[in-house]
Structure 1
Amino acid sequence: MNIPVLYQDESIIVVEKPIDLPVHKNDFMPNDAPYLTKLVGDKTGKWMYNVHRLDSKTSGVIVLAFSSEAASVLTKQFEQKEVQKTYYAIVQGNPGAGTFDSKVLVKKKSKFKKAAVTHYKTIRTVQTKLVSKDKTDIELSLVEINPETGRWHQLRQHFAKNQFDIVGDTHHGDFTLNKIILADTELRRLFLHAGKLEFKHPETGEQVAFESAIPEEFDKLLKFYS
């Protein structure tokens, strides 16, 4: 599996994670199943330290550390909300611009919720003839998202709660619409991508930023219904 490297030095490596690839191993995976830290570790010949998370179904830019010291510095930045994160998603409807700040569940099958903050703005909207449940002529929008917090499925939960389901979200989203879009386009993925990551380098303290281009499937989907 190809893992594009955006940046690498003695302390960190920044890569583009493909969809459907877990960041680290979990108890539900077969022993031989691939995961990001293993693949990058095999590629570099170094032990990898995970710093933050991306859902397995989410693609995009992620930073890993080569030492526990560097990982600790970076993890603290994420915890103290010093890292600027930008995501892109295609959602049902047109949310405009604003902030979602309702609490979200902390994990699957849990009733416990924590505070979460998600800023967003709509970049592009297309009008379609799609029909799902009681909705007709459904709009699809490309949205830029800047979360302040990093809860479990935070973006997926926030947009679903507000009736702007992320396309391809099989956990929280509009299952009927997902099936229709998949049948129409044959594009099978969660339309959520980590596009930008900005933080202070753990060794130099320099502010660094890395970008991962919006996947071509996003444009294909919008063009299909334009």
Structure 2
Amino acid sequence: MEILYLDDVMIAVHKPSGLLVHRSLIDKHETRFALQLVRDQVGRRVYPVHRLDKPTSGILVFALDPATARALNDQFTAGLVQKTYRAIVRGYTDQAGVIDYALREELDKIADALADPDKAPQQAITHYRRLCTAELPHPVGRYGTARYSLVELQPKTGRKHQIRRHLRHIFHPVIGDTTHGDGRHNQFFRDHFGNQRLLLAATALHLIHPHSGEPLAMRTAPGADFARIVNALGWGEVARVSGKDC
């Protein structure tokens, strides 16, 4: 995997879509994991400090020792890490907005068998801004054309599937989301663009280095498979330049 940052205590890589971070009961048949691949790549043990969903691509950080893992995990848990994502969604979103919508914890029947199913919804906040729009002359559903937006998002809390669930809540689901998305538009992207992935990517991460105390900023483009769809929608260089708008 592409290494985005590496020093004596931590490493950040670009995780491709479709790769689990580590072994999970949710997908017992999977044999490849980011943790294993990074360990083999750098030749030493690595420690996960945050999660990135299997279908989501982008920046993934590992610690290289237990003390650094605890320090980084504390930053993520305390909400001190600023995370930025890009997504292609159905419809034209507002130019910018804040989604403040509490989420009930999503429980897996196997992995979360002992969790409390009656736990109250937890506060969840996501900021977003629209970068680009596209209208295609293809009827999908009841409309004569199909509209899409490229959005940049910053979740201020870290609930499970927060971005995907929040975008569904405002009726702009992520393309390629088979759990929270729109099946008709997912199928349209498979048929017309050959898209087989969730169009959601973690493109920037800002944290405090756990030992030096200095700010550390990491950025990456969403990836070649994401960029191919962006180009097909006429948005050009925006996929390759993390801060660029259409």
Map of 2:188 onto structure 1: 180
Q: SS state of the match for residue 114, structure 1?
A: coil
Which structure 2 residues correspond to residues 123-138 of structure 1 after superposition, within 5 A? Answer: 123-138=131-146
**What letter corresponds to residue 42 of structure 1 in structure 2?**
D
How large is the Cα RMSD of the aligned pairs?
1.7
| Counterpart Cα distance in 1 of 2:19 and 2:155 | 22
| Structure-2 change in CA distance of 1:192 and 1:111 (3 Å) | farther
Residue identity over aligned pairs, in percent, reads 34
Aligned residue among 162, 165, 187 for 1:157:
165
| Counterpart Cα distance in 1 of 2:87 and 2:141 | 22
Map of 1:5 onto structure 2: 3
**What letter corresponds to residue 156 of structure 1 in structure 2?**
R
Displacement after TM superposition at 1:142 (Å): 0.7
| Structure-2 change in CA distance of 1:204 and 1:222 (3 Å) | closer
| Counterpart Cα distance in 1 of 2:36 and 2:64 | 13
**What letter corresponds to residue 156 of structure 2 in structure 1?**
E
Aligned residues: 224
| Counterpart Cα distance in 1 of 2:194 and 2:172 | 22
What is the TM-score with the length of structure 1 in the denominator? 0.92
Displacement after TM superposition at 1:219 (Å): 4.1
Displacement after TM superposition at 1:41 (Å): 1.0
| Structure-2 change in CA distance of 1:31 and 1:83 (3 Å) | same
Q: Which moved more, 1:132-141 or 1:202-211?
A: 132-141
Q: Which moved more, 1:53-62 or 1:213-222?
A: 213-222
Displacement after TM superposition at 1:130 (Å): 3.5
CA deviations on 1:132-168 (whole Å, 9 max, x unpaired) are 3334422111100011011111000000111101000
| Structure-2 change in CA distance of 1:210 and 1:222 (3 Å) | closer
Displacement after TM superposition at 1:120 (Å): 0.2
Aligned residue among 38, 46, 49 for 1:48:
46
CA contact (8 A) 2:85 2:202 kept: yes
| Counterpart Cα distance in 1 of 2:226 and 2:48 | 28
Displacement after TM superposition at 1:19 (Å): 0.7
CA deviations on 1:74-112 (whole Å, 9 max, x unpaired) are 111112211111100000112121011111232246664
Which structure 2 residues correspond to residues 62-77 of structure 1 after superposition, within 5 A? Answer: 62-77=60-75
Q: SS state of the match for residue 167, structure 1?
A: coil
| Counterpart Cα distance in 1 of 2:159 and 2:133 | 27
Structure 1: 5+ residue stretches without partners? none
